[in-house]
Each structure stands twice: as structure tokens, then as C-alpha cells.
Structure 1
């Protein structure tokens, strides 16, 4: 008995596969052009194509669902990106609005100070630079000699004394703060029953501390006293608030004492200041005029 070779078996199997594929294609073709309309033929076609249609439908459904999912992902991504951009824009606007409100509040304070101190001609200025160290406390303002600023002019805020112009340039000026150890401000206790005079200076130990020096041991000064400029020496106008006494300490040698002051101005938060370009002595308020007395009754006529 002759055993068929592997080559012959492979050829026969290939021919069978080709025949089945051609048959299926023919059935599909004739069904598509509706050339066979017999019920039996339709049943055969449906039975043959049903598995393929089921698989095709399932695959098509999965592909459609996956496409919808991908579309939703891209839609949500674009929407989130747009919402994030809108949120960033709102945050930026809120920050700008808060900054404008803060600036307006500071400018209103300067305006109120100007109206309450008519003896001063004030030039508003902004702090644009800072040079702080142990031995130097200075700021740079955006007003200079082109604006009428001159050396030694007094610089203030509505809270109190800042310092004086150390050097003026064309469009900016350097201001020496009263916290600088090299500064010296003539000062006086504001309390009417004291009026003790002294000198306020910065300290080398701290960039924000100031002391009132040269105070006798038996001087009339206590914690809580407000210290203002005395006007002595003519550099600083009289009556500008410098700070409040927080404690009294003995000086070296024990013959004198000094007062530690809490500055009226927060030097770490300086943004807007004013330069006193000119000042006049305030005019004291006059007492109200007395009402004229009524003429005496029954006065005789002059003869």
C-alpha cells in the first residue's frame, strides 16, 4: 500500500481551503446582488455568514466604543486645559486687583496726611530699591533732582518719620533711614508735662532699632511716651512722630540713660513715601472771639 507523501497532502489541503474561500466569496457576492432569492438559499447564507457577522459586529462595537472613549478623553483634556487657563487668568486678575486696592489705600493715606498737615509741601514717591546692612540702612526712591528733590530733605509716611535725602540724582534719590547708626534726629517727648529733649539714633545691633540717647537719670520720661521731632537744628520739621518708648536702660558709666523706641514706621514694609519739599510753621488756632456785650440800658444821652 502506497503512503501519500507530505507534499501531496499539503497540496490537497491548500486546494480545499481555496475552494472553501472561493465558495464563501461567491455566496456573499450573489447574496449581495440578490440574484438568489430562494428561502433555502437565504437560510444557507445566513447560517454560513452568521459567525462572521457576529464577530464583525462585536469587533465593530468595540472599535466604536473605543473611538468614543478616545474622543471623550480628548474632549475632557481640552476642556480641562481651557478651564485651567481661565482659572489662571482669574487668579492673575484677582492678584492685580488686590495690588491696586492696596496701592489705592496707601495713596489715600498719603492724601489724608497731606490734607491734615497743610504746613508741608509733600511730593509722593515710591520705593524702588533698598540697601540694608548692619552699618547702612538706605532706600532708593523714584524722585530726584528733576522733581525738585534736594539733599537733606525730610522723608515721611502718614505713620511718621522715615529719614532724609542723602543724595539726589536726576530721576531718583537715596534716602538715609533714621535706623542708620550714622543718622541723628533731634527729638522731644510729646507729653506736655515733660518735653524732654534728646537725640534719636540707629543702632549697630539691629537694622530696625532706634534709641533716644543723652537722657539724665532723673528725667521725666516713661514707657509709652511718644517721641516726635524737636525741630532743633533746622533739618527736620517739628512735630513728626518718631516712635514710642518701650523701655529705659542705663548707658555706659551709669550717669545717663537711653530709651529704646518702637519706630512709628515699619521699615521692612516701605513702599510709598513722601518728600517734604517745603514746610511752614503751623499757625496756632485762635480762641473763638468773645461775643460783644449788650449796651447798658437806660444810658443817658451825652451832653
Structure 2
């Protein structure tokens, strides 16, 4: 009997507990007020929760920001390397293009004066200054070069060899003040002398003298080497008249010529392997 009463009491207590739990669940969402203890707990817990949430969001954002910065830095490094590589390749292409253009110009020059046997050579040094007055090329006696052999570049006459070594030669260009070339005005078929002048080379010009006073010279007249020269064979283009000096007191005219060769930039040249004065 006692065992049966204990069993019944246990069931009653369990049922009461379940009932209270059920009532708590039913009233949890519907009650309009909370207890003072819950309010006190809320004053403490809610700010802490907000702080934890804010800190968590900030921490996640900071980690993502640092991760993004690292990714951007790696991307920037990769892009810079690619830019440097492309810049280098572009420079190589520009150099190759410039060299191709120079070689094409030399080839055209060679074809224009096909009657003259020629050999190419590279400039390896020059005298101080911006202009190629006297410079050295990389071939000499071993290539059959001799003093007074004519040198060409660009579209025409450059100068002549003045000194020859076993594997080098020195060249004096026509802009040097020691240079003088017997020349020919193509349109009028008149003779003249083209000379280097220290007062003109900074302007890239040559002086043209001994032009007959009756010669009807005009701007743009083409001037070549003449058949009277002892060093230079006839017909090699020197340049064009760009200015005529007006001086009625002179017995001959003086003009100024723009050469067809760029005497500020020199890389490759053609040497005529024949002494004209001995022909």
C-alpha cells in the first residue's frame, strides 16, 4: 500500500511540473511586463551583447580588409611586373624598329649608288660634342679600307676616311671645318664648293661658296658631288639649299645647305671601297 502511494505522489509532482512549464510557455510571448530582475539583467546583458556584436563585426571587417589589402598588394606587384615586362618588350621592339629602318635606309642608299662597291661598318666612337665631326668605325685595313675612301650614310654623302688601323678607321665628316667638297647644283648644272663651318654646324648647315653671280639659285635646289672632285665620285647627294645670302658686293654668291645626313645621330655607314682619284 505504501509503495503504491509513493508512486502516485511522484506522478502528481511530475504532472504539476509539466503544467507549470506549459503555462510558462503559453505566457512567455503574451506577457506585457518583465520582472525587475529581468530588467536589471537586460541593462547589463544587452549593452554587452551589442558590444560583442559590434566588436565581432569590426573584427570580421578588419580581417577582410587586411585580406583585401594583401590581395591588392599582390595584384599590384603582379601588375607592376607585367608593366615592366611590357615596357621592356616595347623598348626592344622600338630598338628593333629603329634598327630595321636604319638598315632599310642603308639598303636604299646602296641601291641608289649600285655602281660603287660598298661595305657596311658600325660607328664605335667619336670626338667630344654632339656632332659627328670626326668619328671611328669598326673596320680598317683587314676589310680593305684606305684613307680617302668615301663614306655615306642616311640619304647621301657623309665624309671620307682620314686614318686607317688594322681593325678601325677614322672618318672626317663634311660638317667639319677642315672639309671641302667640289659640288654640283643639279637644276642649273653649275659648280660650287660645299664647306664645313664652325659657325653653322650647330644649326646643322653647310656653307656653299663660289656660286656664279649669274646663277639663278632658288631655295630647295639639290646639290650633289661633282665630277671634278679628287676624292668624291660624282652624283652623290649632299643636300638642299635652304638660304641664299644677299650681298651685291660679292662677285660670287653664297648660300647655305641642309645636308641629307643626320650628323647628330650615327650608327651604321657605307664605305665605297674604291679610291676615286685613281680611277
TM-score (norm 1): 0.67
**Higher mean C-alpha deviation, range 75-84 or range 49-58:** 49-58
- Give me the whole-angstrom Cα distance separating, in 1, the residues matched to 2:247 and 2:122: 38
Among 197, 200, 212, the residue aligned to 2:194:
200
1:176 aligns with 2:165: no
User: Which whole-Å deviations, capped at 9, do the CAs of 1:32-75 have from their partners, x for residues lacking one?
Assistant: xxxxxxx99xxx9xx69956666445433322321121111111
Aligned to 1:243: 239
Instruction: Report if the CA contact (8 A) 1:132-1:138 is conserved.
Output: no
- Alpha carbon RMSD of aligned pairs, Å? 3.2
The Cα shift of 1:166 comes to 2.2
What aligned pairs does 1:1-303 form with structure 2 within 5 A after superposition?
A: 55-131=51-127, 137-191=133-187, 194-207=188-201, 208-219=204-215, 221-249=217-245, 254-278=250-274
- Give me the whole-angstrom Cα distance separating, in 2, the residues matched to 1:80 and 1:89: 14
Bigger relative CO (Cα 8 Å, ≥ 6 apart): 2
Aligned to 2:31: none
Cα gap change, 1:168/1:250 in structure 2, threshold over 3 Å: closer, same or farther?
farther
Instruction: Report if the CA contact (8 A) 2:130-2:264 is conserved.
Output: no
Instruction: Report if the CA contact (8 A) 2:132-2:266 is conserved.
Output: no
User: Which whole-Å deviations, capped at 9, do the CAs of 1:120-167 have from their partners, x for residues lacking one?
Assistant: 222222333333659982233333333333222111124111111122
User: Which whole-Å deviations, capped at 9, do the CAs of 1:197-217 have from their partners, x for residues lacking one?
Assistant: 222101121212212212232
User: Which whole-Å deviations, capped at 9, do the CAs of 1:62-121 have from their partners, x for residues lacking one?
Assistant: 223211211111110111111011011101101210210121122122123323322122
- Where in structure 1 are there 5+ consecutive unaligned residues? 1-38, 281-303
- Give me the whole-angstrom Cα distance separating, in 2, the residues matched to 1:92 and 1:63: 43
TM-score (norm 2): 0.72
Partner-residue secondary structure (3-state), 2:85: helix
The Cα shift of 1:252 comes to 10
Cα gap change, 1:102/1:135 in structure 2, threshold over 3 Å: closer, same or farther?
closer
**Higher mean C-alpha deviation, range 243-252 or range 71-80:** 243-252
Instruction: Report if the CA contact (8 A) 2:148-2:275 is conserved.
Output: no
**Higher mean C-alpha deviation, range 152-161 or range 76-85:** 152-161
